[in-house]
Copies of this chain bind each other. A is one copy, B any other.
Amino acid sequence: MKLEEEIKQKEFKSEYNKAVVNLHFTQSYLITFQARLFKPHGVSPEQYNVLRILRGHHPEPITVSSIQERMLNKMSNASRLVEKLKQKGLAERKECPSDRRQVDITITSKGLDLLGQLDEEIKNFNHSIIKLDESEVKQLNDLLDKLRG
């Protein structure tokens, strides 16, 4: 549905103005459905994202600052998210021997199991939530990559 109808706004001052609002609105649409998907599994979308980053490095550990770099929200707070995952038994924290300021984080087997369960579900979700065909999605990704310069 056109954004103008969704938020009951007659028109936008420019396509650029509409695009900024459209990106916020579409992301909100996605995250609402994602949160509902993750909720029965006891993790939030950002916690899931950190788990995926951990799995990407498994069995090597990864430091908190490296997690931060790979997160979608750069200014967020990796250490608090790791703490949440640890409380749920999905991740482990260990002091880094070579630099005692750093903390090595690894995903646990429980964490890997959870991701394994979610993989198929997420794949189906991604296809069903995005009502575009293969070439359109590709086009969208290219435009977003270009948008950020």
Contacts and interface: CB of A to CB of B under 8 A. Distances in A.
B123 A17 contact: yes
A28 B143 contact: no
Nearest to A22: B144
Interface stretch (A69-77, A78-86, A91-99): A69-77
A74 B32 CA distance: 9
A145 B8 contact: no
Contacts of A6: 148
Nearest to A18: B141
The secondary structure that dominates the A interface is helix
Which range contains the number of A residues in contact with the other chain? 35 or more
15 contacts: A1-B149, A9-B56, A14-B123, A14-B126, A15-B134, A16-B130, A18-B141, A19-B130, A20-B130, A22-B141, A22-B144, A22-B145, A24-B27, A24-B72, A143-B143
Interface of A: 1-3, 6-9, 13-32, 34, 56, 69-75, 122-123, 126-127, 129-132, 134, 136-141, 143-149
